[in-house]
Amino acid sequence: MTDKESLKLPISSARRSLALSFYTFLSRILGLVRDHFMAVSFGTGMVASAFSVAYRLPNMFRNLLAEGTLSQSFMPIFSEYEAMGVEAARVMAGTVLSFLFLSLSIFVAVFWVFAAQFLPILVGGSPEYGNLVVELSLVLFFLIMTASLSSIFMSISNSHHKYFIPSLSPIILNLSYLTVFLFFFPFISDLRERVFTLAYGIVAGGIIQLFVQAIFVYKLGYGPLFRLNFRHPAIKKIFKLMLPAALGGSFYQIGLLVDIFLANYIQNANPGLGAVVSLDYAQRLVQLPTGIIGVALATTILPSLLRDLRAGEKARVPAEILDVLSFAFFLTIPAAIGLSVLGETVLDAIYYGGRWDELATKTALLPLIFYSIAIPFYSSNKVLVSSYYAFQDTKTPLRVQFVSFTMSIGLSLSLMFFLKHGAIALSSAISAFVTSGLLIFFLKRHEVKIPWLSLAGRLSVMVLPFLGLSTWLLFGEWYLKPLLKQTWGLDISHAGISRISLLVSILPSVFIFFGLSVFVKLKEAEIILGRVLKRFFK
């Protein structure tokens, strides 16, 4: 492959991911606004903890199915059937959707029957707390149905490089939150009534999500033709691919669930700590860069790798993966540095006020720092797992994620008596690092050899921009923030000072980072700035 070809290859996935990242960025900004209202409305008390646990259950399955194994297992099979004709692809999609709808209906029904028996045992605490978790779970668990069915429609759109409408899915869900906060909460003062109103509003948003995705796919001309045919070859094939992937993904998701139950245990042993909600909010902040960058790159690289493999151009795969990983590190390492250095300021700027106080910030700070240092690995893992799916290999990620799951649980149990809920975040960060190393190592099974010297060379060039960014952020946090407090502390609220301080730290650091990146001629910066300038001058 020539140098010229090498330069052209990465730009396709990277540039597509930029568009998807922009749409995801809008969703995550709405998510921060949503989280602000959640924090000031509910704080870190019993109602907030119960909602976090109840929402975590359907969210676990949503992440497992909608954002992971189901959609990525479905896409290669849909691509195969599309090669046979549009009609065959539509029948295949309809058959999978029909089977999925039936399976999920049974699953949700079973949960509704047994939730009251097992959930209070798992969460512990007072009977009032356990009952509130059960009641909220019965409402929110329906989200599994809408999110999983939506993921099939989103996969069909993504397979044709249509990313805008699929990216609206989380935006719609966040808007359903904000609608409840802005138009219902002013008339509701009781916390219990508020939290149930919010739960029903979220379910309504999930139903709207599904209809929007379905209508778009039908307009594309790929609307599924529904058939309940258990013998259709696609059913066996997709679930053969999906089962190991689901098991692998379930280790991560069950790990998150175990984390929340361990946090419940720590919270019950340390009244007033607010460990459950603190971990939840720290994770959400980390999911901002991970979702914008990691999910976008993982979503766009899979169709690109499938295209290369169908065209018999397997030699392009290592270069594609290398460039996407390099692009991910270029964007996620600054995010990791920023959240680690500015953690306290970020928490106060977004959440402070109402029921969220200084104690809540201190409780969430250590988990946020630990989660933040693993942002590059959370993101790269999404890209690497997508790469395995392109080879229809779901067993290797399964084995790797089992190792990661076991390690994370062991570390959490070992460290929780010393670091309390911070141990859970640190364990997650360490296991993410190990997962990245193992996923990269085992790619050789598919004759994919990452050119390490080339990757190391690119990362070494990024050192200067990273240093420039870090220097300014430390200067802003250690010197400018105290100065702002002394100057404006009497006239502006604590949250207001934090927001001003955040702007003073972040905006110059962005210019410093990209300025130094252009100075050292980083290709990743040229791609981003080229895209931004092109849109600006348009």
Structure tokens at 210: 């599904």
The token pair at 445 is: 């099974």
Q: The pTM is what? A: 0.73
- Going along 415-507, which residue ranges are E strands? none
DSSP reduced 3-state for 356? strand
**Of residues 369, 297, 361, the one with CA closest to residue 498:** 361
Residue 94's identity, in one-letter code, is G
| Cα of 413 vs its chain's centroid, Å | 25
pLDDT in tens, 18-68: 556 667 677 778 888 998 899 888 887 888 888 988 888 787 776 666 555
- Residue pointed to by tokens 């779970």: 137
451-500 pLDDT, tens digit each: 777 778 888 999 999 999 999 999 999 998 888 877 655 567 888 889 99
Task: Give the tokens for residue 311.
Answer: 């065209």
The pLDDT assigned to 110 comes to 92
**Is a pLDDT exceeding 70 seen at residue 306?**
no
The rounded distance, in Å, linking the Cα atoms of 13 and 421 is 38
What percentage of the chain has pLDDT greater than the value 90? 29
Tell me how far apart the alpha carbons of residues 36 and 349 are, in angstroms, rounded to a whole number: 9
Whether the CB-CB separation of 48 and 256 falls below 8 Å is answered with no
pLDDT band at 347 (very low <50, low <70, confident <90, very high): very high
- Residue 339 · residue 250 · CB < 8 Å: no
Secondary structure E strands in 186-225: none
Nearest to 514 by CA among 535, 531, 498: 531
pLDDT number for residue 69: 63
